[in-house]
Amino acid sequence: MTASMFGIWAVKALILIFILLTGFAYATYYERRAIARIQARIGPNRAGPWGLLQPAADGIKLIFKEEFIPAKADKVLFTLAPIITVIPAFLIAAVIPWGGEVPFFGRTAHLYLTDINVATLYIVAVGSLAVYGIVLAGWSSNNKYSLLGGLRSAAQMVSYELALGLALVGPILIAGSMSLVKIVEAQKSVWFIVYQPLAFIVFLIAAFAEVNRTPFDLPEAEQELTGGYHTEYSGMRFALFFMAEYIKVVAMSAIIAALFLGGYYGPGVDAFPWLGPVYMFIKILVLVFFAIWTRATLPRLRYDRLMAFGWKVLFPLALLNVFLTAVGIVLLGG
């Protein structure tokens, strides 16, 4: 590893973190405005034109709030838990290809942080670490509602991870690679959603469960758990949980776009490579809207139904998809 390579990595990583943080801030705004429209309200529109400065106002408010630690909480883990939650959310974005090769001041640059040959496995691995932050937040708060939220999230995430990982196998088999860049490149002519509709649906549902979005937001169910694992958190620590959730929504949307919706491909990308990130942005916008739409439409599942759905519907469907894809590839010769 040379120094210049390290420098390029550092710059790319900083840009990625900046994009994700901006994405987090405006995903909250996007969600509030979209949900308001669906519920025939207006939504935040006072701070700046069309309320565009609302995320900044919220951020400043949260920074100045008191960060309260309950007297009987486990102070070390209580402080660490939000950090442990937010780190995997950032890490998971490292393997997402945002675009192809683009000309950049006379050189060609790759619009991804890294292209590892086990990227899909990396997504599963990092995603599986995300549960620790939430479980520890629930436990260290020393509050029964928090603990219940933490336990629910542990059971839920372990269950849905299985379907999530198995749904990844379909695109991997068709592309013949575990690298996300190669999987996107294999979709140049036909998007994988055409070959893998079942895997797409399973992955989409499991991804919602992974990021604890409605209808799978049992760990933080306000009505029964008064907030769940983050009941005792306030100020920036509270904001970190929401940062993790929204960054994961954005990252999961990007991963779904890359796996099933052709990633950065779209009309005219070959001629103008800089269109790639634009298409990616549009696809992410649509998928995030889908997540918001679902939240505004569907009620929360009952907890036993949620587990039964994961194990008795999603998991067999994902297995079936692996089987069908493998047989199809053997019969049709790839």
Residue 226's SS3 state is coil
- Residue whose CB is less far from another protein, 188 or 312: 312
Number of residues that bind another protein (CB under 8 A): 34
If the CB atoms of residues 184 and 261 are measured against another protein, the closer one turns out to be 184
Reading the block at residue 163, the tokens are: 């379907």
Which one of 73, 96, 135, 168 is in contact with another protein (CB under 8 A)? 135
Q: Shortest approach of another protein to residue 321 CB, angstroms?
A: 15
Q: Does 121 bind another protein (CB under 8 A)?
A: yes
- Minimum CB separation from another protein for residue 130, in Å? 9
CA atoms within 13 A on the CB side of 316: 5
Looking at 98, 139, 200, 229, which residue binds another protein (CB under 8 A)?
Answer: 139
Q: Does 151 participate in binding another protein (rule CB under 8 A)?
A: yes
294 near another protein (CB under 8 A): no
186 binding another protein? (CB under 8 A) = no
Does position 308 interact with another protein (CB under 8 A)? The reply is yes
Among residues 31, 58, 161, 210, which is the contact residue for another protein, using CB under 8 A? Answer: 161
Least Cα distance to 117 among 172, 165, 167, 161 occurs for 172
Residues 27 to 86 in contact with another protein, rule: CB under 8 A: 74, 77
- Given 10, 56, 60, 158, the residue binding another protein (CB under 8 A): 158
Instruction: Report d(CA 334, CA 325) in Å as an integer.
Output: 10
Helix residue ranges per DSSP H, the chain? 3-38, 54-64, 75-91, 119-140, 144-175, 180-185, 192-195, 197-210, 222-225, 235-260, 275-297, 303-308, 315-332
State the DSSP code for 50: G
Four-point Cα dihedral 284, 290, 293, 298, nearest 10: -140
Selected from 16, 52, 129, 201, the binder of another protein by CB under 8 A is 129
Q: Rounded to an integer, what distance in angstroms lies between the CA atom of residue 63 and that of residue 193?
A: 42
Q: Is 124 in the site for another protein (CB under 8 A)?
A: yes
Under rule CB under 8 A, residue 112 binds another protein: no
Instruction: Give the nearest distance from C-beta 92 to another protein in angstroms.
Output: 12
Q: Is 118 in the site for another protein (CB under 8 A)?
A: yes
Between the two ends of the chain, the Cα-to-Cα distance in Å is: 37
157 binds another protein (CB under 8 A): yes
| Measured CA distances, 324 to 119, 201, 262 (Å) | 23, 15, 21
Q: How many CB atoms lie within 10 A of CB 296?
A: 15
Give the residues lining the site for another protein (CB under 8 A).
Answer: 74, 77, 116-118, 121-122, 124-129, 131-132, 135-136, 139, 147, 150-151, 154-155, 157-158, 161-162, 165, 178, 308, 311-312, 315-316
